[in-house]
Structure 1
Amino acid sequence: MEAKERTFDRSLKGRVAIVTGAGSRAEGIGNGRAAAILLARDGARVLLIDAVQEWAQRTQEMIAEEGGEAMVCAADVSRNEDCQAAVAQAVQQWGRVDILVNNVGIGGPKGTAVDLDLEEWDQALRVNVTSMMLMARHSIPHMLQQGRGSIINVASVAGLIGGHPSLLYPTSKGAVVNMTRAMAAHHGAQGIRVNCVAPGMVHTPMVYARGMSEEVREVRRKRSFLQIEGSGWDVGHAIRYLASDESGWVTGTIFPVDAGATAGRHSY
């Protein structure tokens, strides 16, 4: 017997999304800002969380210019009480939570196990890993009320491959990868899908705000099969897909958005 085709409306009208790290530290489009704008374009109402309120406000302005609905929440998502209050704000305003995008992340301390700063290590792990658990902790009970939900954790290709000059960053992103798989197993039977987007060397405000020569930018571009520079929009579209019913049979997946950088090396 032939399987019935599953068709979906990509609209997110009536749904509520929470995006952490929804601002950009320089003018332009980072991963969180792109995801928030794209979710709003498809009809979702979006809570924009960022530690710097002005950055999230700029994202809100961009969404409003397109006729979308969003609200700003200044919060430190490494703190349990801030995560709880942020989710409560979304529920108080819109009555539900359907989508959680755990996008926030920092580079953390440089160095190896021998010489990195221990206090910076602890804090970076709270930002890059613990924050995602805390946001899920407070969002999942509301998703259960709808009988479904979608959580998208943003990691990095650094969590999939070795060779990074610092220990903290790939360690924390690798933790996000396997936390995603574990959460997908825990909550799949409850109708909650949990997936991970692993961006490659995209050119975002977080990257170029620190300064980058054209030579370095060219080397980064050539580290992939496509040899095309990616942007926050590329990551945002992957997040939007995983948030929607179009990916309704997808959970526990790790989705590299990297122009093929993790698929192998050039042999020609």
Structure 2
Amino acid sequence: MSVVNQAGKPPGLMGVKHVIAVASGKGGVGKSTTAVNLALALAAEGYKTGILDADIYGPSQGMMLGVAEGVRPKSDEEKYFLPVTALGIQAMSMSFLITESTPMVWRGPMAAGALQQLIMQTKWDNLDYLVIDMPPGTGDIQLTLSQKVPVTGAVIVTTPQDIALLDCKKGIEMFRKVDIPVLGVVENMSLHICSQCGHEEAVFGEGGGERIAQEYQTDLLGQLPLLASIREQTDKGQPSVISEPEGRAAQIYRAIARKVVASVDAQEAQAVKPPTISVLND
């Protein structure tokens, strides 16, 4: 049985104030890109931030953060991994422990065990926010996370397509069943912007993220346009928040980060709200 301290945190997470899970019901909606830009946006807002790549089968945060192939985390007392520092944030990923060509041919329990090891044996250094890039879906990895980590809240990433919205609903329901608050929804690829004339068109549909947010009484945190630059910058290891801080995408990510912080602050304020005393005349 894993050792968890009295505060409900694994020892390595004692230096983490808030844990934000970034998840999606299906792959291909830009979850990892959102996760890394959210982490960098939180850092740009002045918060000490880290990112944990929990996508055991397809870890990508090493490449997105520009970490060179072969970089390995150092150890502390031969007991903990020390996160790799990249672009001003702390990072831990399975990609730091394997080669790029190593296939993760594991059954679910093996992948869940690997994630548990990353959670239990990574020693984060005094973080305000730890962003966890979740694998897509609602399986063993998600259950392991909910059982082993005191997650402050989840951010769900979707696109406007009906099939993506259907899976988005499943993701929201999953987190609510394990009592993890859903902080809001991020809608990716909401508009295609023509690089030649600037014309905007909702090629994947429109209003889907807003409808989901209303249906589940959560917030629409932001809508990202379908921009080639977002993909290109991330592939080069220089995500939008870093490579083009004054650009449209970076400003949207910064706004999303501020909304996440506001939601967490409101959640904390609600938790410590003092009781109301009423005095009645007899």
Alignment TM-score, normalising by the size of structure 1 = 0.47
| Structure whose residues are more often helix by fraction | 1
| Structure whose residues are more often strand by fraction | 2
Q: Greater relative contact order (Cα 8 A, min sep 6): structure 1 or 2?
A: 2
Larger Rg: 2
Alignment TM-score, normalising by the size of structure 2 = 0.45
